[in-house]
Amino acid sequence: MPPSEGAAPALTRHGHWIGGIAVPPSAGGYFEDLDPDVDRPFALAARGTAADVDAAVQAAQAAFAAFSRTPVNFREGVLSRAAAILERDIESLAALMITEIGSPIGKARHEVQRAADVFRAAAGATRHLSGKTLPSDVPGKMNLTFRAPLGVVASITPFNVPLGKGVRLSAIPLAFGNTVVMLPSEESPLMALRLAKVYEEAGLPPGCFNVVTGYGHEIGDALTGHPLVRSISFTGSTRVGTHIRELAARSGKKLTLELGGKSPLVVLDDADLSRAVQAAVLGSFGNQGQICMASSRIYVQRGVAAEFLARFAASASALGMGDLHDPATMIGPIINARQRARIKDHIDDAVAQGATVVSGGGWIGPRCQPTVLTGVTRGMLCHAEETFGPVTSVYAVDSLDEALQAANDSRYGLSSAIFTADLGHAMRFAREVSAGMVHVNGATAQAEPHVPFGGIGDSGMGREGPEYDMEAMTEWKWVSIQL
């Protein structure tokens, strides 16, 4: 029977990507992929099981033997072609990101271009798997060392930068000759499946990149605990990352974790306030605050605190919250009802305990207005916990000493930034701040494809980037030759 007039169109169904083909879920289950801007499903994705995970890992293991022996120029060519495909398809990829995660168009286009840059950095890394020749105590003996790929790498990616992290957590393992099984966030399964098609078009052999979609709490352990998985790359919450670290320790797997943040931005009296405000807006409210590097704590020296706060609040209030396809729009929807409730709880709790909402604090449908708080103190939820939304707190401090002390009063240590004209102050901050990344006269939210990206403490372990991933993605071999 044909659908009745006005009925919603049938949702497309998407299987896993295993061994180079689309595979239906073994248990027959699917879950809804929601458009967060309207809170309606627009597609159905396979609800994976442990059996699906095993099938994907087995496919990756089967592909590893041949792929690990491919010449450098083959892997370099695949990754270079993948970069060109992303740039060719930037508009369709950005459109999917808008629908699937509510990304504003400017952020979406930027993410696609940065992902292409990561592909090219990974292509270059194929030629940098170097070793050494070492002297020997034995006459006529030569010692050689080289790095060899591990095997199957498990990549678990977040919703907020689904393509950027999807490429970063797959292209670099592939560059070194590993194969990959990816478990994307249940909020962004279609972007991972689209990435699989990019790899296919670029000429990656079947089985080298596999995607299992589903709920992490149902199948995550089946992937990270699989005996054939040799290394794990995870980007997500500190709570889940801690669990994965425990599993990896028990099984001896290599591990890279990029977790949460509570990144401090310091503004001293001699700062260029225009640049500082611009960086604070970008760092606090880019991607509606759903960024691990978000400037969620801003410490401003008292001499400029009032002026900074007034200019910052005014800029925040003026941010566009319109059509996500409009380049003027910066604030999109929060990803789901659970996260919206968390943000509301953080704001309401702060206000109830005496904090002041300088700007924002309200909601327009699923979008939270850019919110600037003052008077935030210990005991408030947003003081130490990651809000992961467009909410930041501004504090007045008397000195760099006080700013450093406050900045380091956190269990997180991902990114940080300072605005000052004094190079001595900048370098002291860089040396003493407890963070894996430090930016002078720039925003906390920055990334480049070739730098050591990562944090300390509850913000993770290890570093992402072609040179720095080698330790987690390869193993040393010692070869001795008796001449």
Q: Are residues 445 and 474 in the same domain?
A: no
Please tell me whether residues 244 and 312 are part of one structural domain.
Answer: no
Q: Which of 76, 111, 258, 464 is catalytic?
A: 258
Indicate whether 184 belongs to any domain. yes
Phi, psi torsion values for 106, nearest 5 degrees: -65, -45
Q: Is residue 76 part of a domain?
A: yes
Three-state SS at 295: strand
Same-domain check for residues 341 and 194:
no
Can you list the alpha helix ranges (DSSP code H) found in 324-422? 337-352, 381-384, 400-407
Per-residue pLDDT, averaged over 36-60, amounts to 97
Is the same domain home to 160 and 135? yes
Does residue 258 carry a catalytic annotation? yes
Cβ atoms of 201 and 211 within 8 Å: the answer is: no
Evaluate the CA torsion angle 127, 129, 130, 136 in order and state its sign.
Answer: negative
Range of the domain at 470: 12-259+460-482
- Asked whether residue 7 is domain-assigned, the answer is no
> Is residue 317 located within the same domain as residue 427?
yes
Percent of the chain with pLDDT over 70: 98
pLDDT of residue 8: 58
Q: Return the percentage of the chain with pLDDT > 90, whole number.
A: 96
- Note whether 380 and 398 are within 8 A (CB): no
- Tell me, yes or no, whether 412 lies in a domain: yes
Instruction: Give yes or no for residue 4 having a pLDDT over 90.
Output: no
pLDDT confidence bin for 119, thresholds 50/70/90: very high
| pLDDT (mean) for 162-174 | 97
**Residue 1 pLDDT more than 50?**
no
> In this structure, are 102 and 179 located in the same domain?
yes
Residues 42, 11 contacting (CB under 8 angstroms): yes
When pLDDT is averaged across residues 124-138 and rounded to a whole number, the result is 93
Q: Is the pLDDT of residue 2 over 90?
A: no
Cβ burial 414-423 (10 Å sphere, 16+ → b, else e): bbbbbbbeee
For residue 265, the number of C-alpha atoms closer than 13 Å in the C-beta half-sphere is 32
Q: Are residues 278 and 170 in the same domain?
A: no
Is 357 found in the same domain as 244?
no
List, for residues 220-241, the tens digit of each pLDDT value.
999 999 999 999 999 999 999 9
CATH number at residue 191: 3.40.605.10
- 284 located within any domain: yes
Mean pLDDT within 372-393: 97
Could you tell me if 172 and 79 lie in one domain? yes
- What is the domain-level CATH number for residue 272? 3.40.309.10
d(CA 386, CA 412): 9
Residue type, 229: V
Residue 209's nearest CA partner among 18, 80, 23 is 18
Active site annotation includes 201: no
Give domain status of residue 1, yes or no. no
Residues in Cβ contact with 162 at an 8 Å cutoff, skipping those fewer than 6 apart: 97, 100, 101, 184, 185, 188, 191, 192
The pTM is what?
0.94
- In-domain check, residue 6: no
Q: How confident is the model at residue 107 (pLDDT cuts 50, 70, 90)?
A: very high
pLDDT band at residue 10 under the 50/70/90 scheme: confident
- Average of pLDDT values for 391-401? 98
Predicted local confidence at residue 370, as pLDDT: 98
470 shares a domain with 350: no
Task: Please say if the pLDDT value at position 257 is more than 50.
Answer: yes
In a domain, 455, yes or no: no
Domain count, the chain: 2
Residues 298 and 442 in one domain: yes
Same domain, 244 and 380: no
φ, ψ of residue 81 in degrees (nearest 5): -65, -35
pLDDT at 313 over 60: yes
pLDDT at 454 over 80: yes
- Mean pLDDT of all residues in 299-317: 98
Q: Looking at 292, 368, 382, 464, which residue is catalytic?
A: 292
